[in-house]
Each structure stands twice: as structure tokens, then as C-alpha cells.
Amino acid sequence: MVSRREFVDTLIELLRKAETELGEDVLELIRDAEKREEGTAKLILQSILKNVELAKENSIPMCQDTGIPIIFLDVGRDAELKFDIYEASREAVSRATKLIPLRPNAVHPLTRENSGDNTGLNVPIVHCRIVEGDEVTIAVMPKGAGSENVSKQMMLLPGDSERVVDFIVDVVREAGGKPCPPVFVGVGIGGTFDESTILAKRALLRDVRKMNRFEKEILNRINMLGIGPMGLGGKTTALSVLVEIAHCHTASLPLAVNVQCWANRRAFAVL
């Protein structure tokens, strides 16, 4: 049985980890890019790597935009959770805001009033699935606004299937230097309007080093744009492209592109 206390403590720890340390897969791709680049692009990647080191050493958030907290739960059907996971998630985020600390980012969308502790209507965002087994797998992803703001969902025509890659590349081109490139590109193809976006977001949780041929082809196309680190030019505009696919209605072709900054912050635990 997973206790409420264990669940809350784990979430706080995962938020701290995601904000202050990058995963080895993400770091490896940034280090590789630093070796390939020269001039300003190299200097920026060196600054990013130095920043990551400082954040880890001092246990402080690597970016002042500590994001909006997103929590992914895969709950085993034999797991026992005798508490309200949504309410417990709110408590964890509220406490983490003071402890880590996190910048209070959550505001009402219309009044723009800040709740002060990163919780609010439907926030933290919790995506929950029931899976086989008795474990609870948790992933947290604090998502910054710079990259979220340039993300896009499109309902393409069924005849556009051969141009899907063009649409994905266009999103990154239009984003330019705004989302803090080099970026990670989460892509959801198919499903429905809503399903495509969640596929794109979940794609960013994968090991970013593991790309198939299709994903590598999109990555190469993106890196030919020359946008480079921070949009100041260079070979590395994206570090990885991760695509998830779902069948869709014969009359539609949903496409979602979720752009993520170089700081693909996420942390994982199994209870």
C-alpha cells in the first residue's frame, strides 16, 4: 500500500530533482552538441552546462521559470491508494513551492491573479492511467512558458499525411529563438484533437537519445534551419525529436507539436 505521506514526499523530492538536475540522457545530448559547435553557439552551450552544474551543486532551480507542474501517474490496478491523489498532489506542489523554492507561476487565466503556491483550478495538472501490476509510477515535468507558448496543435487534412514533417519543421522555424533552443520536440500524430497533444507531451518523457529513423529524419531537417542555440545561429536547433502515434478518424489528421527548451526537466520514481 502506498501511503499519502510517501506519495507527497516523493512528489516533493521529484520536483526538487527535476528543477535542480538534468537527466543523464538530456545532459549527454547537450554535451555532444557543445563539442560539435563553435563560436557563439559553443559559448552558449558552455554557459548552459556551467549553469546546470551550478544548479546541481547548490541545489537551486536551473531556470527561474520553474514552470507549471505536470504530474503523470501510472497506477497499477493492484496498487492500493487510500487517499485523494489530486488533493495530495496539490499539497506536494504547495509545499515544494516554499521548500525548493519554486517561483509562483500559476495565475487565473482571465483575472491573472496569482495563487502564490503554483496550485489553482485543475493545477497541478495530473494525468492518470490505470496499468497492469501493483506499482505506482510517477513522472513530474515542470513545464516553462517560453517553449509551451510556441507549441501548436493542428487539424490537418487527411491528404496532408506526406507533409506532416513540413508542418513540424515549420513550428520550430516560426519559434526561432523564443523557446530557448536547442529544443526537444515532442510530436503527437493522430488520435483526436486532445489525444494528439497528450501524446506530444508524453513523448518528452522518453529517453531522448533513442530515436527511430523517422524521428532522426525530422531532427536533421530541423537542424538544417540554422536557428542554433538561443536563435543566434548554429548547427544545433533541436537535440531530439520524439514522435508518438495513434490511429485517427479516416476524415482527420490531428498533429500536435510540443516544443521543450534545452532544459527537458523531468524526474521519475516507482512506488
Partner 1 sequence: MDVRNCEDFVQLEVGNIVYISGTIVTARDKAHMRVVKLIKDGRIEDVPEEMFLHPVYHCGPLLKNGKIVSAGPTTSARMDPYAPVLLRESSCPVIIGKGGMGRKVVDLLKGRGCYLSFPGGAGALAAESIKRIKKVYWQDLGMAEAVYVLEVEKFGPCIVSIDSRGNSIYPI
Distance of CA 26 to the CA centre of its chain: 11
Q: How far apart are CA 172 and CA 183, in angstroms?
A: 9
Cβ nearer to partner 1, comparing 85 with 140: 140
What single-letter DSSP state applies at residue 157?
A: -
Cβ nearer to partner 1, comparing 116 with 158: 116
Cβ nearer to partner 1, comparing 72 with 262: 262
Q: How far apart are CA 163 and CA 170, in angstroms?
A: 11
CB of 101 to partner 1, least distance (A): 5
CB of 204 to partner 1, least distance (A): 15
CB of 97 to partner 1, least distance (A): 10
Q: How far apart are CA 68 and CA 124, in angstroms?
A: 7
Cβ nearer to partner 1, comparing 8 with 55: 55
Q: Torsion angle of alpha carbons 189, 192, 193, 199, nearest 10°?
A: -50
Nearest Cα to 41, choosing from 185, 150, 171, 181? 181
Q: How far apart are CA 31 and CA 246, in angstroms?
A: 33
C-alpha cell at 210: 533513442
- Which residues make Cβ contacts (< 8 Å) with residue 58, sequence separation at least 6? none
Cβ nearer to partner 1, comparing 230 with 257: 230
CB of 55 to partner 1, least distance (A): 4
Cβ nearer to partner 1, comparing 48 with 164: 48
Query: Which helix H or strand E contains 187, and what residues bound it?
Result: strand 183-191
Cβ nearer to partner 1, comparing 183 with 243: 183
CB of 102 to partner 1, least distance (A): 7
CB of 242 to partner 1, least distance (A): 19
CB of 133 to partner 1, least distance (A): 36
Q: How far apart are CA 47 and CA 139, in angstroms?
A: 28
CB of 40 to partner 1, least distance (A): 6
Question: Would you call 211 exposed, middle or buried from its count of C-beta atoms within 10 A (0-12, 13-18, 19+)?
Answer: middle
Cβ nearer to partner 1, comparing 196 with 264: 264
Binding interface with partner 1 (CB under 8 A): 40, 43-44, 47-48, 50-51, 54-55, 58, 60-66, 101-105, 112, 114, 144-146, 149, 176-180, 229-233, 261-263
Q: Is 112 left (phi over 0), alpha (psi -120 to 50) or beta?
A: left
